Structure formats: C-alpha cells, structure tokens
Amino acid sequence: MADMITLTIDGREIVVPPGTKIIEAAGSVGIEIPRFCYHPKLTPVAVCRCCLVEVEKVPKLIPACATPVSAGMVVRTRATSEKVRKAQQGMIEFLLINHPLDCPVCDKGGECPLQDQTLAYGPGGTRFAEKKYHFKKPVPLGPHILIDRERCILCLRCVQFQREIAQHPQISVTYRGRDSFIDTAPGRTLDSNFSGNTVEICPVGALTGRHYRFRARPWEYERKPSICPECACGCNIYTHVRNGEILRVASRENPLVDDGWLCDRGRFSVRPDEPAPPRLTTPLVRINGRLMPVSWDGALEFATSAFRKIAQAPGRPEGVVGAIAGPSTTNEELYLLGRILRTSYSSNNLSFDGGASSALRSAGFAPVGAPDIDWADTILLIASDPSRDLPILDLRIKKAVRKGARLAILGNTSIELASLAASTIQAAGTDLARAIEEIARNVPAQTGQGAFLSSGKRIVVALGETASRDKTAVSEVGKLISALSKDGREVRAGVFAGGTNAAGAVEMGFHPEYLPGLRRIDDVRAKAQVEAVWSASVAAKAGLAGSSLLCSAAHGEVKALYVMGADPASRSLTPEEREGLKRLECLVVTTDRMTKTAEMAHVVFPAAAFWEKTGSLTNVAVRVQRFEAAVPPPPGVKSDVDILVSLAKAGCLPLSKESPADLAEEIARLSEPYARSFSGRTGSPAMSGREG
C-alpha cells in the first residue's frame, strides 16, 4: 500500500489513499457534499459546480469532485464555511432558473437528486422573476430514450457514460451557453445497447425511458430484488412493481456480476407500453383433435396416464420419454424434471433449448466471469462476441482495457470489441482450430499472437458458443492453456456462451451426458453418488438432445415429450425434426402463453412466467443467484415446480422431497455451486446484492 494521505475536512482528520478525490474522502466519513455531475464510475468533469469546497490557501472555491487530496490539506465544506454554503445555494438557484419545476409530472420526481439536494442545500426561493425557457419536448434521442431539454441541467453524466463506459459516444453537448443541449449527430440516434443506463444516472428527469414514461410515481413502486433473465450474465436487478404489474427494471449493483449497469435488452425487456399476448390460465387437453380447457386434475390425470402407458409398455424400453426445457427455466425446475425423467422413466433424453453449455468445465475449463476479467491483464476472445451475447461482460472487457488490460481477438474480427483489441486474427469454421493450434505453437516460439499472449501474466481465455461446440477447437484450446500456463503465467479459461441458465442446466444435470454436479453418466462412481441421493437407479446409456432427440421421435423411438418453457416448433426445423414433433404419442407442454409447440401438444399446462417464479439461476460464471417472485401468477396458473410435483404425485413417483426447501437441500447435496449460494454470510447471498 502506498503512503496514505492525511487531511482535515471540517476539523476532522481523515486518512485516505492518494488519488482520492475530496468528495470521496468526505463521503468516507459521512460528510455529504452535494453533487450532480459527479458519479463514482465516471471521470469527473466538474461542470455542475455544486460540490464547491473551501481549501485553505486556495484563493477560490474548488470542486471537490475533481480535486485529489493532498497531504495536510484543510478543507471546509458547507458545514463550516459560510462562503461554501452561499456558493452552493447560488449554484442550485442557477440550476433552477430554467428548470421547469414540473416535478408533479416528472418521472424522476420522488427519486430526483435535484429535488432532494434543492431541499437539503438549496435556497428556499428564487429571485428569478423572468420567463423561463421553453423547448419542444420530449425529443427522441434514440429508440428507447427521450430528452426533455427544459429539465436538463447539462451535468454531462449521460455524455460521459456513453463515451467512457459504453464507449458509444453517440451524444454530445451542442451549441453553447444558454443554448446548449444534449443531442446526437444529425441523422443519427442514441441506439447504444446501454442507453437505458443514462436514464438511471440522469440526476434530473431530462432523460426518460419511452417504455415506462408516466407509468407510476417512484414512491408507488414496490422494489423487489431479482435477477435479469435475458442472458447468461445474470445481472442483479430490482423489479419495480405497482398493483401486481412490473413497470420497470432498475439495476442493483453487484460488482461481481454487473457493476451496476444493465443492457437495454435486459432493462427494456419489461415494456408496459406494449400489449402483452394473452396468458394461458386453464390446462388444455386434446380431445377429438382439438385442445379443450379442462380442470387441473383432469389434465394431470391425462398426462400421467399417457406417460405411464408409454413408459410401462411391454419390455419397459429405456429412453422412450424425453424432455426439452427452455431458457429462463430455473435450476429447481430443471433439476426436478431431470430427476423425474431419469428415475421414473429411465430416460436420459434431456435437452436444454438455450444455447451451449459449460460442459467444458470438465476439460480443464473453469467458469470465467466478471471478476476474472477484472483480474486479467491479457484477454483472449475466441470466436466470441460478448457485445451481442453477454452485453454486461462487454462493458467489463471495455473497463479492463481502459485500465490497461490487453485484448486479443481470434475469430470474427469485425465484432465491436475488435476496435479495442491490440491483436486480432480472423478465423472461422475449421480454420479456427488450426489458428488456435498455431498460437499454441507460437507461445514457446515467442512469435505472433503467441508472443502477445505470453507477455501477459494473468491471462483469460474465453470461448464463444460455436467454438465451444467444436471438439477440435476445444482440445486445441486445452493445449494452448497448458502452453501458456508456464513461466509464472496464470490462465483462466472458460466459455462465454449459452443462453440464460445454460450453465445451470448442466450443473443441475439437465443434460444427456451429465448428472447433477457435473457427474458424467458413464462414470460409475459419480453415478452411484447420485443414485444414493435419489434412492433410485439411473439408466447408464447417455441420452439424446437437440436435433437428435426430435429425429429419434420421427423414427418412433422417443414416444413422449415433456416441453417445459420451450418452443421448439417456432424454430426453423428440418422436415425430419418437424415430423418427430408430429409423431409423438404424447406431447406435454408447459407454457405461460400459447406457442406453436403448444398448438401441437396433447396436454398444455399454464405455467408461471419468469417474474412469477421463485428459484435460482446460474450465470455464465456458474454463480448461482436466488430470486423471489416479483408478482403473483394469475389465478389458475401454477409454477413449473408445482406442476412437476403434482405430476410426480399423480404418477405415484416416490418423491419424498417436495417442499422447495427440501428440494433445495437435496440439490445442494449434489451441486457444489448451488450449495455455495446457501452459505451466505448474511442470509441469502444473491438477495444481499454484494458478496465478499
């Protein structure tokens, strides 16, 4: 640790590391200094002039947000300096001169730093009696963001965020003086994938989100911690609920996951301004070729007897039943469905419909996530495009590069991050494995990208979706890792791939080849461990998944299919796969809304949508994060776990554990990351936002 600096603020002696800004030093001991443009994650621009403080021997007041501390500094804030107090009052009065004070109709009213700080530090009134500026409003800046020029105080947080954090500098201050306003270049829009964050950091109501404008006042929201289900990043969020309806999503900072930012895909997945397709609220059963609404008991009875008939056919063939689960199904649902299929129907045909898995972990790969990117000094992306697939990791990589990490890209060199890369190699398809092999060879030879990588000390290698399915490429990466892990270099390799909870699906054993806890099905000892917990035997033959599952249905080998939260029929299927879906003797679908697959089904159960579920999701770094339901399901709708438990009961499955707590405890016995999510320091770790 470098030498600490001692300074005095308001007569209190404070010791902080060098480089700390006065505003942060004061904050560390609870001395509050008003601020608008200052944001802890942005470079200070010192334009709002509200954090002015008096420093001894400095003739003028100086901005606390942009001034680093120095030894022996004597700082006086508004608490002890009349000069500072007057200056701050004056600044706030100036800010309000052209501010419309339309707080009653402003989306920010109630959670507005300008409102709060005017109350706390501002003058009680104004001396400005003239007419205020009026502008046309609101003006759209981009597909999601509208600007209200009257409310804007030109703090530049949005400009700074887009420039520094998102690195999409699409907005800027135009004109000058009293005519200044925030705008895009003509003919262009603020279509950055992170534009929603500007609304959140805007200290006034100038930037508003198109989808929740005027939906509710901030004090009416019930804020519930949750997890974003849009991709495998697993960003921590708050859902803002009013009258049982989610109106918006806000960030819940977790440095280990999201750093407090959200991408627009996640943030604007909730759109109260768009009509939602109607919900399914009664079970449907196919009677005489048509889907008819029936009671829950009737539908459960129908489904279990159909499944039992198929599974208990003469000879009790293995693998006649299959299951497909979609993304954003929870760990608990995946585990339970896998367990039921394996123990009651002797089938390992478990297909997760949400992208590649992190099954590579057994091949020397470890989960890699945000903390590893922070740790690395060299990052190699192999055929991966985080900007598209895992946007929050894209921000992390940008942050790492800003802090001096070097980025190398192998694969498609036209991706957005390639512009930040110090070394790029274009390779695709079969060339990819060859290119990896060449780099591995170049490491000891100290040439090309090999030399580039080997000059790092802490190296992160991340494989994209397609690369992680290419067996040759994976084995070449294994060689590359071992070549790099020499001479004091440390390597962390993992996959940047898969949809929401893809990692959870493998971890929960929802995989044709893996049992819970990443136990290979052909590993006799591992299988025995699972069988002991389940008190049931598991078929030894690996199951089918994806395309081969549907194709084997076309050949009549798989006769019944349980589809949980997935919609395989809406994808572009080969004729054979489509034939497979049609030939099924029993297709059970659980879904929140009518889908193409549901239309082909024999039984459809109305299931809870994501926000109505309680459970856990596992992110790309195999971090298990629990969440609770934000809103209750509509009447008549059950969660997938409840449906599975009812089915298991109706099917006389010896399911001793059926309460959520028992289920969670059983999963924890089989999966180490899942168990870890329980051992929080204070209550449930995922809910506490921060974890040490």
Partner 1 sequence: MEGGVKAVEFSETAKREIEKILSRYPTKGAALLPVLHLAQEEFGVLTEGVRARVAQVLDLPPAQVEGVVSFYTLFKTQPTGRHVIWLCQTLSCDLAGTRSLLGHLDRRYSLKPGGTTADGRFTLVMAECLGGCGTGPAMMVNWDYHDRLTPERVDEVLEKYR
Partner 2 sequence: MFLIELFRGMGITLKHFFGKTITIQYPEQRRPLYDRTRWRHILRRHENGLERCIGCSLCAGSCPVHCIRVVAAENTDADRRSPGERYAKTYEINILRCIFCGYCQDACPTGAIVLRKDFELARDHRSKFLYTKEMLLEPKPALQPVPEPQPLEMASSTHG
Give residues in contact with partner 1 (CB under 8 A).
163, 169-176, 183-188
Closest to partner 1 by CB, 47 or 518: 47
Q: CA 665, 668, 674: angle at the middle one, nearest 5?
A: 130
Instruction: Please report where in the chains the tokens 């007897």 appear, as a residue.
Output: 305
Check binding of 119 to partner 2 (CB under 8 A): no
Nearer to partner 1, 171 or 564 (CB): 171
3-state secondary structure of 183: strand
Residue closer to partner 2 (CB basis): 148 or 258: 148
Site for partner 2 contains 128 (CB under 8 A): yes
Between residues 180 and 455, which has the closer beta carbon with respect to partner 1?
Answer: 180
Separation CA 245–CA 111 (nearest Å): 20
Shortest distance in whole angstroms from residue 162 CB to partner 1: 9
532 φ/ψ angles, rounded to the nearest 5 degrees: -65, -40
DSSP H helices, 446-589, are 448-454, 465-469, 471-484, 502-507, 524-534, 546-554, 575-583
CB of 98 to partner 1, least distance (A): 18
Strands 222-227, 490-495: pairing is: unpaired
Q: Is 340 helix (H, G, I), strand (E, B) or coil?
A: helix
Pairing of strands 560-564, 321-325: parallel
| Of 1, 2, 129, 661, the one binding partner 2 by CB under 8 A | 129
Q: Which of 8, 80, 126, 475 binds partner 2 (CB under 8 A)?
A: 126
Instruction: Indicate the residue among 136 and 176 with the shorter CB distance to partner 1.
Output: 176
Q: Which is nearer to partner 1, 175 or 219 (CB)?
A: 175
HSE (CB half, 13 Å, CA atoms) of 300?
16
Regarding 138 and contact with partner 2 (CB under 8 A), the answer is yes
- Single residue of 30, 59, 124, 488 touching partner 2 by CB under 8 A: 124
Residue 275 interacts with partner 2 (CB under 8 A)?
Answer: no
Span interacting with partner 2, options 13-21, 29-37, 124-132, 352-360, rule CB under 8 A: 124-132
Which span sits near partner 2 by CB under 8 A: 19-27, 129-137, 492-500, 597-605? 129-137
Which of partner 1, partner 2, none has residue 570 at its interface (CB below 5 to 8 Å by kind)? Answer: none
Query: Least distance in Å: CB of 61 to partner 2?
Result: 24
Question: For residues 208 and 269, which CB has a smaller minimum distance to partner 2 in the complex?
Answer: 208
Residue 176 or 525: the one with the smaller Cβ distance to partner 1 is 176
Token pair, residue 231, equals 């991709």
Residue placing its CB nearer to partner 1 in the complex, 7 or 171: 171
With contacts defined by CB under 8 A, how many residues of the chain interact with partner 2?
23
Nearer to partner 1, 171 or 336 (CB): 171
- Binding region for partner 2 (CB under 8 A) out of 119-127, 228-236, 517-525, 543-551: 119-127
Q: What is the DSSP letter of 422?
A: S
What whole-number distance in Å separates Cα of residue 403 and Cα of residue 399?
6
User: Which of 134, 309, 486, 596 touches partner 2 by CB under 8 A?
Assistant: 134
User: Which residues of 252-392 form beta strands (DSSP E)?
Assistant: 284-287, 290-293, 321-325, 349-352, 378-382
Residue 102: name its binding partner from partner 1, partner 2, none (Cβ under 5 to 8 Å by kind): partner 2
Say whether the peptide bond before residue 391 is cis (omega within 30 degrees of 0).
Answer: no
Pick the closest to residue 443 from 456, 433, 453 (CA basis): 453
Helix ranges (DSSP H) in 268-417: 296-311, 331-344, 370-375, 386-389, 391-402
Kindly state the smallest distance separating residue 68's Cβ from partner 2, in Å: 35
- Indicate the length of the chain as a whole number: 692
Q: Is 523 in the site for partner 2 (CB under 8 A)?
A: no
The correct pick among 215, 441, 458, 469 for binding partner 2 (CB under 8 A) is: 215
Q: What angle do CA 369, 373, 378 make, to 5 degrees?
A: 135
Interface with partner 2 (CB under 8 A), residue from 217, 469, 520, 657: 217
How do beta strands 586-591 and 560-564 pair?
Answer: parallel
Q: Which is nearer to partner 1, 173 or 675 (CB)?
A: 173
Cα separation of 546 and 326, whole Å?
A: 11
Q: Which does 145 bind (CB under 5 to 8 A by kind): partner 2, partner 1, none?
A: none
Q: How far apart are CB 201 and partner 1 at their closest, in Å?
A: 18
Exposed e or buried b per residue across 623-639, where buried means at least 16 C-beta atoms within 10 angstroms of its C-beta: bbbbbebbbebeeebbb
Containing 131, the helix (H) or strand (E) segment is: none
Contacts 24+ apart (CB under 8 A), 136-141: 138/208, 138/213, 140/189, 140/210, 141/171, 141/182, 141/183, 141/184, 141/189, 141/190, 141/195, 141/207
Residue 202 lies near partner 2 (rule: CB under 8 A): no
Q: Quick check: 219 binds partner 2 (CB under 8 A)?
A: yes
* Smallest gap from residue 173 Cβ to partner 1 (A): 5
Task: Give which of 97, 101, 103, 93 is closest to 124, Cα–Cα.
Answer: 93
Specify the residue, 93 or 374, whose C-beta has the smaller distance to partner 2: 93
Site for partner 2 contains 105 (CB under 8 A):
yes
Given partner 1, partner 2, none, residue 100, with its beta carbon under 5 to 8 Å by kind, binds: partner 2
Q: Using CB under 8 A, list all residues that contact partner 2.
A: 96, 99-102, 104-105, 109, 124-126, 128-129, 134, 137-138, 213-217, 219-220
